[in-house]
């Protein structure tokens, strides 16, 4: 059977899986007795965005705070600024004192007055293709010289060759120019196109380094799990010199890219396995957070499988392990179960039954069995658990995966201000599963944490991204329009407090002594 046929069967199976998802998840978690991570039921994955068709009809609007349940945190005043966004994905506090928000399903950029939540503008980005799951309009970054040139960059999936085949979606990064006089965008220039796109694990974060280079995160495309479980993860695959010459970017999956603003390869990019390309780092699963420190260090946060979400400091040419290593190379709860290694038999296999998979030719690799060149361990994980951890002992019912030892980090920002005491130099990390924002305290060498993280702003929201005001006194947070989250009283819920919203978290006094440190 050809690979394309396997792909088609995998997708058909995936569609059936989505229709049966609650029962399937419950069945899997109640029947699995193996301490391995495989076919991850990821809270950011495609099947859990089934309400997107509803939220995509919303129009962002300024909101009253009457009778609205909001998160609380001592020392902060919390306000709902706007709501009815269509899966907001990226938020930036611009040098024009305007909040720029991408809407993944809405395929548009909404501009909001941070003082009162007034919607100033909504601009449709042409050419965005969104059909299901995690595709659509994703990351955005303003040019460092934006006030003078009006340039900004967005990442989005598009329909390759106007095909009706949903499997042919690709991703591009396009530069637009904003005209402040007409409040319109124009002069689109594709920086890079032909990147892989998927219904899952696109990542899609953009950032400018202090070196003036453009950085971009690409996930593993959701392979080896859910409806794509028969597709091989390529996070360790590297391009040949011929691939680079022919602009074949297939091997860029599961990587962080570094490029010039015209899309060309910087002369000082790392040479990996004898080839220089856009690849800055490799071995990533789903790095949805990307931030730059004042010293030029770059950090990513990324989703792990059923354990071991990671925060990493990027090193040129560094290998972050996926899919052979999740978290530390410690042979704990994770082993790499490679379903695609079963070949033609894969579409007939049940990912709940690893033993039967092994008998059919599925390979299983322990972390200690691999020796990856330039492996870089994470700064920290959420959470590493022992190899006897019971993944079936949950109280989340049909949304049992929400109770797994992960938090689903959706973004990452470095706080660079003295306004809030004790915060300067810390990382702020929104999460999807636990309805919390985590504060991380970096050690002097930036390779570990100096103290336990602090949990803040607990709610029943899926926090997607945050921006920080120039004076450092206010956080602006956007939330998902739909999806599951841990309920504060225990278990899981899909009834979000502030779906598709923009929240203002304003510092009014107090210190970290009143916040919750993880033990």
Domain positions in the chain: 3-513
Q: What is the pLDDT of residue 84?
A: 97
The low-confidence residues of the chain, meaning pLDDT below 50, are: 1-58, 513-514, 519
Q: What is the pLDDT of residue 329?
A: 98
Q: Which residues are catalytic?
A: 201
Total residue length of the chain: 519
Half-sphere exposure of 64 (CA within 13 A, CB side): 2
For residues 503 and 430, what is the distance between their CA atoms, to the nearest angstrom? 13
Q: What is the pLDDT of residue 168?
A: 76
Q: What is the pLDDT of residue 40?
A: 45
pLDDT in tens, 272-302: 999 999 999 999 999 999 999 999 999 999 9
Asked if 382 contacts 406 with a C-beta cutoff of 8 angstroms, the reply is yes
Q: Which residues contact 284 (CB under 8 A, 6 or more apart)?
A: 203, 217, 218, 219, 220, 235, 254, 255, 256, 300, 302, 320, 322
Q: What is the pLDDT of residue 393?
A: 65
Q: What is the pLDDT of residue 487?
A: 94
Partner residues linked to 137 by β-bridges: 156
User: What is the CA angle 391-396-397, rounded to 5?
Assistant: 100
Q: What is the pLDDT of residue 284?
A: 99
Q: Which CATH architecture has domain 3-513?
A: 6 Propeller (2.120)
pLDDT in tens, 109-150: 999 999 999 999 999 999 999 987 899 999 999 999 999 999
Beta strands in 366-497 (DSSP E): 380-382, 413-414, 427-430, 437-440, 454-456, 463-468, 474-479, 485-486, 492-493
Asked if 300 contacts 217 with a C-beta cutoff of 8 angstroms, the reply is yes
Nearest to 497 by CA among 83, 110, 100, 116: 83
Nearest to 426 by CA among 357, 390, 375, 380: 380
Q: What is the pLDDT of residue 399?
A: 81
Asked if 460 contacts 496 with a C-beta cutoff of 8 angstroms, the reply is yes
């Amino acid at each position: 059977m050809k690979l394309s046929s396997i792909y088609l069967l995998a997708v058909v199976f995936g569609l059936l899986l989505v229709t049966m998802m609650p029962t399937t998840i419950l069945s899997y978690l109640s029947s699995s007795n193996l301490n391995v991570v495989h076919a991850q039921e990821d809270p950011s994955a495609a099947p859990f965005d089934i309400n997107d068709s509803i939220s995509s009809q919303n129009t962002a609007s300024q909101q009253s705070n009457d009778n609205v349940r909001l998160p609380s945190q001592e020392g902060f005043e919390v306000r709902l600024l706007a709501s009815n966004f269509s899966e907001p994905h990226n938020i930036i506090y611009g040098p024009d004192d305007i909040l720029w928000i991408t809407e993944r399903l809405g395929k548009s950029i909404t501009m909001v007055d941070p003082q009162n939540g007034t919607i100033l503008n909504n601009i449709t980005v042409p050419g965005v293709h969104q059909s299901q799951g995690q595709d659509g309009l994703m990351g955005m970054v303003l040019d460092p010289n934006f006030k003078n040139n009006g340039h900004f960059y967005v990442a989005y999936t598009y329909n390759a060759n106007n095909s009706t085949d949903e499997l042919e979606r690709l991703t591009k990064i396009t530069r637009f120019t904003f005209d402040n006089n007409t409040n319109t965008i124009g002069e689109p220039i594709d920086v890079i196109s032909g990147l892989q796109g998927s219904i899952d694990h696109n990542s899609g974060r953009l950032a400018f380094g202090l070196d003036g280079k453009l950085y971009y995160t690409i996930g593993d495309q959701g392979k080896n799990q859910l409806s794509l479980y028969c597709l091989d993860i390529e996070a360790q695959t590297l391009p040949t010199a011929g691939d680079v010459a022919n602009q074949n970017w297939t091997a860029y999956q599961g990587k962080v890219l570094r490029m010039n603003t015209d899309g060309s390869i910087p002369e000082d990019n790392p040479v990996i396995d004898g080839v220089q390309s856009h690849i800055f780092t490799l071995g990533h699963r789903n790095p949805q957070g990307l931030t730059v420190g004042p010293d030029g260090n770059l950090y990513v946060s990324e989703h792990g499988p059923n354990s071991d979400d990671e925060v990493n400091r990027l090193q040129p040419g560094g290998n972050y392990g996926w899919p052979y290593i999740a978290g530390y190379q410690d042979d704990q709860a994770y082993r790499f179960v490679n379903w695609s290694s079963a070949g033609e038999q894969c579409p007939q296999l049940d990912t709940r039954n690893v033993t039967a998979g092994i008998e059919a030719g599925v390979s299983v690799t322990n972390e200690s069995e691999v020796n990856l060149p330039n492996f870089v361990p994470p700064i920290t994980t959420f959470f590493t658990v022992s190899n006897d951890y019971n993944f079936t002992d949950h109280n989340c019912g049909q949304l049992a995966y929400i109770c797994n030892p992960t938090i689903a980090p959706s973004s990452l920002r470095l706080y660079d201000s003295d306004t809030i005491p004790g915060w300067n130099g810390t990382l702020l990390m929104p999460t999807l599963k636990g309805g919390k924002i985590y504060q991380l305290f970096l050690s002097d060498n930036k390779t570990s944490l100096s103290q336990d993280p602090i949990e803040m702003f607990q709610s029943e929201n899926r926090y997607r991204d945050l921006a920080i005001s120039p004076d450092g006194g206010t956080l602006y947070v956007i939330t998902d329009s739909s999806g599951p989250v841990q309920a504060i009283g225990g278990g899981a819920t899909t009834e979000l407090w502030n779906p598709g919203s923009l929240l203002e978290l304003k510092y009014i006094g107090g210190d970290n002594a009143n916040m919750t440190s993880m033990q």
